[in-house]
């Protein structure tokens, strides 16, 4: 269902000839049929933000959008003034077809950095796509497929809470790192919320979901998460509950990104507990999730805890105060490191499940944090030494 699960939204997914793979579905359209046209967005903090990010960041400042056009196959990033003009022209074409103005149209692009869009194909794709717009399940599914790049499967979410609905789709598989994964995510809801409420809920939700996954430590130029609200349910939700709903949707989609991490054979949950602060726990968890050596070991089904402690051993004491001689590390429930020294034999750890749980206790407080990541496989290298589309 994805973005059409919430009432008041139409979508389409089609092949516009943007991707270098002939016939690949590479354009998604999402239209908010109202009555509201509320929009909020969160974007990459990369200083080389792509043209569509620069464009859409301005749009959400107004708090309103009629819809969004997303293309895969080209990121339109690091393309200078000409790239920004392309995003504007894309928004203008969508606006004309939708009977609105360009400043109410969000644009998203994903693919290779440093290449301009084949603009003719984008514009003819919008023209071709509008008649296909539908509020149907099929249309939502088609849109969720059109935004994929190296993803092996579409990622969707549908939540129904107290009379209102929230649907969503996301793409993301590589170039996934803290401060938003490399991804484009569209969430839709038929709840009645203001732009300010949507923005607050979305920021809270992304900070504990997309900001807490790390496939390969690489931050993208194109990260975009938008939340569109149609108000079509007529239901005005309790804001705490609404924020929890948006958070749940984001967490589900973030988890799916990790599950589809490029070439991955394990999903790794790194939890740090008993820390002096959440910041300390996060810093340690992120350090482990960023370790190539540890991630290679997991790929080889090796519960190499030395690579875990040596990773979070690099976090400065000012950030994470703890005594290395008190730390414990469990892998899949086996305490392999006890008091900074060898614990149970590593041979006891069963590394065959897809999910690997690393539990680190710092014994310096009561705060905690979790980061999800993937292992580092031959296939990841293969994908990323070949990728050029």
| Interface positions with a copy of itself (CB under 8 A) | 45-48, 75, 77-83, 112-116, 174-175, 177, 179, 216-221, 290-293, 296-297, 299-300, 302, 304-307, 309-311, 313-315, 317, 324-325, 336-337, 339-342, 346, 376-378, 380-388
**Residue with Cβ nearer a copy of itself (113 or 244):** 113
Q: How many C-beta atoms lie closer than 10 Å to residue 267's C-beta?
A: 21
For residue 312, the tally of other CB atoms under 10 A from its CB is: 26
Distance CA 185, CA 378 (A): 28
Can you tell me which residue has the tokens 């034999």? 345
Smallest distance from a copy of itself to CB 146, Å: 22
> Quick check: is 221 catalytic?
no
Smallest gap from Cβ 70 to a copy of itself, in A, equals: 19
Q: Which is nearer to a copy of itself, 75 or 254 (CB)?
A: 75
| Joined tokens for residue 215 | 């496939």
Helix, strand and coil percent figures for the chain, each rounded to 5: 35, 25, 40
The span from the first CA to the last CA of the chain, in angstroms, equals: 28
CB 198 within 8 A of CB 230: no
Residue with tokens 């050596």: 293
Pick from 274, 271, 292: nearest CA to 355? 271
CB of 292 to a copy of itself, least distance (A): 5
Q: How far is the CB of 10 from a copy of itself (least distance, A)?
A: 33
When the beta carbons of 144 and 291 are compared against a copy of itself, the nearer one is 291
Active-site annotation holder among 150, 182, 245, 373: 182
Spatial strand order of the sheet with 155-161 comes to 38-43, 224-229, 184-189, 164-171, 155-161
Least distance to a copy of itself from the beta carbon of 43, Å? 13
337: number of Cβ within 10 Å:
21
Q: Nearer to a copy of itself by C-beta: 38 or 361?
A: 361
Complex with a copy of itself: residue 48 or 130, whichever CB lies closer: 48
Q: Which residues are catalytic?
A: 182
């Amino acid at each position: 269902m994805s973005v059409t699960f919430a009432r008041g939204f139409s979508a389409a997914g089609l092949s516009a000839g943007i991707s270098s793979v002939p016939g690949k579905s590479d354009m998604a359209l999402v239209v908010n049929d109202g009555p509201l046209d509320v929009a909020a967005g969160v974007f990459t903090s990369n200083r080389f933000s792509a043209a569509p990010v620069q464009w859409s960041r301005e749009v959400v400042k107004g708090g309103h959008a009629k819809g969004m056009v997303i293309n895969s196959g080209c990121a339109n990033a690091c393309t200078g003034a000409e790239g920004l003009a392309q995003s504007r022209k894309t928004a203008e074409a969508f606006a004309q077809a939708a009977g609105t103005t360009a400043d109410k149209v969000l644009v998203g692009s994903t693919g290779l950095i440093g290449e301009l869009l084949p603009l003719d194909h984008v514009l003819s794709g919008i023209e071709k796509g509008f008649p296909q717009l539908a509020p149907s399940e099929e249309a939502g599914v088609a849109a969720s497929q059109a935004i994929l790049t190296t993803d092996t499967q579409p990622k969707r979410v549908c939540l129904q809470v107290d009379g209102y609905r929230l649907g969503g789709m996301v793409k993301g598989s590589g170039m996934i790192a803290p401060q938003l994964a490399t991804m484009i995510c569209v969430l839709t809801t038929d709840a009645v919320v203001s732009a300010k409420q949507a923005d607050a809920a979305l920021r809270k939700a992304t900070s504990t979901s997309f900001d807490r996954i790390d496939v390969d430590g690489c931050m993208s130029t194109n990260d975009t998460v938008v939340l569109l609200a149609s108000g079509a349910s007529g239901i005005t939700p309790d804001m705490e509950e609404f924020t929890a709903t948006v958070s749940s949707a984001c967490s589900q989609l973030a988890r799916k990104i990790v599950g589809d991490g490029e070439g991955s054979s394990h999903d790794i949950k790194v939890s740090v507990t008993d820390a002096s602060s959440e910041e300390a726990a996060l810093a340690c968890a992120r350090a482990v999730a960023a370790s190539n050596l540890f991630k290679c070991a997991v790929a080889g089904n090796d519960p190499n805890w030395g690579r875990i402690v040596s990773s979070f051993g690099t976090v400065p004491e000012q950030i994470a105060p703890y005594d290395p001689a008190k730390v414990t590390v469990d892998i899949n429930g086996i305490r392999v490191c006890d008091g900074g020294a060898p614990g149970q034999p590593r041979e006891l750890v069963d590394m065959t499940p897809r999910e690997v749980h690393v539990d680190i206790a710092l014994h310096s407080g009561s705060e905690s944090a979790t980061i999800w990541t993937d292992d580092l496989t031959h296939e990841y290298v293969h994908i990323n030494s070949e990728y050029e589309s």
